[in-house]
Amino acid sequence: MPLIELGDSIPPNTAHAVSVSLPTWKSNIGYEEGEEWVLGTMVTGYPRFFIHKSTQAFGRDIVAKYGTANQQAMLFPTKKIANRCLEFIREKAPHSILADLDVVHLSLDPAKKIPSTLQSASPSISAILFSPDVFPFAKQYWQHTGDGVSSRRAEFCHGLFKENILVLDQNVSSPRLQNKLCRGPRRYQRASMEDHSNGFNGAHHTHHYPVTADSPTDSDNTDTLETSRFLEERYGRNLDLSLVPNAKSAIRRRIAGVLTTDIDLESTTALPTMSSHARGISNLQEEDIYLVPCGMNAIFTTHQTLLKARGPLKSINFGFPYVDTLKILQKFGPGAVFYGHGSPADLDDLESRLRDGERFLALFCEFPGNPLLTCPDLERIRRLADAYDFAVVVDETVGTFVNVNVLPFADVVVSSLTKIFSGDCNVMGGSMILNPNSRYYQTLKSVMTDEFEDTYWAEDVIFMERNSRDFESRIDRINANAEVICEILLAHPLVTKVFYPKYVETRANYDVCKLPHGGYGGLLSCTFQTTAHAMAFYDALDTAKGPSLGTNFTLTSPYVILAHYQEMDWAKSLGVAPDLIRFSVGLEDDLASTFTKALEAAEKCQI
């Protein structure tokens, strides 16, 4: 594939891409070290780690209008989420740096006639304002929870903000900020045809008529009509909200496995009904599947829901963790017991603790794990959970629900839809499935009814639905490609270990959940005889290289450097080598030759 330059988005020229090119081993280290020759080139990054530039720009404008020169802003979709972040900052940050902490809530101007199509999108923004010293604590919340504002939401709402349509919510914002409230313009010139076609991607050149009186006049009625037309044409039509409910339903039904063919959301054809055995569960309903802005937010929401449903108990993180899963369990509740190997011996130890009277909220695990691709023994975990009263939460992102079915063993199944379900690497999303046969189902359902906020932005929903229409056929091809690459790596003398569900020691655990027509997935890792060999191979490999996984194109990363750079010895102690390379296999036709050429480059490496 054509070389993607350092710092460019993956895919290239994609405004809301969720990966960034780090094409050499050295550039990955430079990124982790914060070196300007890397950071200065980056046009984007993985959204929970790199705040999108459109979001940054909106934050700067909010600070300019409502803040002080020394403040920064972090944006969230609702007041509730912003307040939750505030609580986290106040708990974790030193009290001495909290003096400038404030919050701005922006909503549609109630004085303007807003089209119902725009209102239904709920284009609100809540911004936390703080001094630079607070940023690391706010960023922790953003990264761990996945609660941050979507870049598409930020871009859309920034346009409303510039037009003074999204304004300070005086009912909930602080008195100090209300004193800074400026009067906004009351009339808008009709946007040009160029503006209409560009939406928020084009420049805004709307001019304002002067307002000379505060009392209502005949011209005010004209203003209201003109404003309404302006909003409808400028914003309402750019966001086809009429399709969003059908799109969400289609996504949920794909996750349930009952929508397996393409469907036209604009047609009158009804979506397929939920079958009596969706996901192997006789009574699974669409309402048991929740969509959230990203996969990590599915884990965070599940943990918070369990705490509200069952009380403040410690959780169990079983198996080598995705970095933020363990952080969520440690930082947003009473803590966690960590079993990093996820081995039978670990289960023996857990069973001993349970017999001695310890009680836990839930066990969180991945199936398979990332990046070692081992699988926990879900049958034994389920038996322990039933006997000792704890919930089982399984992250199936790597396995995918086309290859495996873990729902019968879980109380909640979570997944990152950002990955192979989307495939296009241009939109975030996550899902939660409540098992209706779980002993905790009614309690969890009650908490979700009272607490759950649907913050999945409408534009992201539309992109996700479109991207996921062919996900089953893509997974089949990716499964086949991954096996080809495994065979090449397994046969090469420089490769010391290949990690793939089919070839690791826990294959039997995978096969228990493997569907009749399922494969072993598109994620694999390997290690080399030396770090020098790994570096030479990585630099020569002609694939996209950057964070994330599950893309339609092969995406490679020196995983431990990116995910655990500050704790590489810890990762090594759990069997994850510092120079491990992870491959998310794509749909390409020529991957065998691509990997063979990179292995030849490694052979020429001078140690």
Tell me what pLDDT residue 202 has: 30
Q: Do 282 and 264 meet the contact criterion of CB atoms below 8 Å apart?
A: no
- Given this model, what pLDDT does residue 195 score? 34
The radius of gyration of the chain's CA atoms, rounded to the nearest angstrom, is 25
CA 279 – CA 392 distance, rounded (Å) = 17
> Which pTM was predicted?
0.89
Check residue 494 and give its pLDDT. 97
For residues 538 and 558, what is the distance between their CA atoms, to the nearest angstrom?
Answer: 8
Of 232, 233, 273, nearest in space to 256 by CA: 273
Tokens encoding 202: 């084009």
Q: Is 573 exposed, middle or buried (0-12, 13-18, 19+ CB in 10 A)?
A: exposed
pLDDT of residue 213: 31
Distance in angstroms (rounded) separating the CA atoms of residues 172 and 178:
10
| Cβ 240 vs Cβ 266: under 8 Å | no
Buried-exposed string 493-522: b where 16+ CB fall within 10 A, e elsewhere: ebbebbbbbbbbebbebbeebbeeebbbbb
Q: What is the identity of the amino acid at 150?
A: S
Which of 584, 142, 543 is closest to 370 using CA atoms?
584
- What's the CA gap between 114 and 223, in Å, rounded? 12
- In the block, which residue shows the tokens 């691709």? 373
- Beta bridge partners, 581, equal 526
**Closest CA relative to residue 525, chosen from 558, 561, 479:** 558
Give the pLDDT score at 113. Answer: 83
How far is C-alpha 443 from the geometric centre of its chain's CA atoms?
Answer: 26
Mean of the per-residue pLDDT values for the chain? Answer: 88
* pLDDT tens-digit map of 352-381: 999 999 999 999 999 999 999 999 999 999
Residue 267: the pLDDT is 65
Lowest mean pLDDT across 120-124, 160-164, 269-273, 403-407: 269-273
Least confident piece of the model among 112-121, 195-204, 484-493, 569-578: 195-204
DSSP one-letter code for 275: P
- CATH class for the region spanning 243-469: alpha beta
| CA gap 181, 280 in Å, rounded | 55
Q: pLDDT digit string (tens) for 12-50?
A: 999 999 999 999 999 999 999 999 999 999 999 999 999
Q: Are 403 and 475 in contact (CB under 8 A)?
A: yes
CATH of 472-603, one of 3.40.50.1370, 3.90.1150.10, 3.10.450.50, 3.40.190.100: 3.90.1150.10
SS (H, E, C) 390-435: CEEEEECCCCCCCCECCHHHCCEEEEECCCCCCCCCCCCCEEEEEC
* Domain layout of the chain by residue ranges: 53-225, 243-469, 472-603
Token digits for 256? 């349930």
42 neighbors 77 (Cβ within 8 angstroms): no
Q: Is residue 220 predicted with pLDDT exceeding 50? A: no
Q: What is the mean pLDDT of residues 368-396?
A: 98
3-state secondary structure 170-182: CCCCCHHHHCCCC
Q: 9-18, 75-84, 219-228, 408-417: lowest mean pLDDT where?
A: 219-228
Dump pLDDT digits (tens) for 63-84.
999 999 899 999 999 999 999 9
Q: How confident is the model at residue 178 (pLDDT cuts 50, 70, 90)?
A: low
Which runs of consecutive H residues, i.e. helices, occur in 341-389? Answer: 344-355, 378-388
CB 529 within 8 A of CB 492: no
Output the furthest CA–CA distance in the chain (Å, rounded). 84
3-state secondary structure of 528: strand
Given a cut of 70, whether residue 173 has pLDDT beyond it is no
The secondary structure element, H or E, covering residue 327 is: helix 323-331
Say what the pLDDT of residue 205 is. Answer: 30
**Strand arrangement of the beta sheet that strand 523-528 belongs to:** 495-499, 523-528, 581-584, 555-557, 544-545
pLDDT at res. 235: 52
Q: Does residue 468 carry a pLDDT above 50?
A: yes
CA atoms 476, 290, 364, 50: torsion sign = positive
pLDDT tens sequence across 314-352 = 999 999 988 899 999 999 999 999 999 999 999 999 999
β-bridge partners, 584: 523, 555
CA 512 to chain centre: 28
What is the rounded distance in angstroms from the CA atom of residue 364 to the CA atom of residue 366? 7
pLDDT tens for residues 527-540? 999 999 999 999 99
Distance in angstroms (rounded) separating the CA atoms of residues 237 and 441: 40
The H or E element spanning position 307 is helix 295-310
What is the per-residue pLDDT for 115? 79
Q: What is the pLDDT of residues 472-513, one digit of tens each?
A: 999 999 999 999 999 999 999 999 999 999 999 999 999 999
- pLDDT surpasses 50 at 199: no
* Higher pLDDT, residue 256 or 178: 256
Handedness of CA 312, 314, 318, 324 (dihedral sign): positive
Q: Which residue has the tokens 């990966």?
A: 19
Alpha carbons 535 and 531: distance in angstroms, whole number: 6
d(CA 588, CA 605) in angstroms, rounded, equals: 27
Mean pLDDT over residues 407-433, rounded?
A: 97
Least confident of 173-182, 268-277, 528-537, 587-596: 173-182
CA-wise closest residue to 169 among 49, 79, 233? 79
Strand-pair category, 412-416 with 391-395: parallel
Mean pLDDT is lowest, of 98-107, 267-276, 414-423, for 267-276
The bridge status of strand 315-318 relative to strand 19-20 is unpaired
- For 25-41, b/e burial (b = at least 16 CB within 10 A) is bbbbbbbbeeeeebeeb
Q: Name which residue leads in pLDDT, 219 or 400.
A: 400
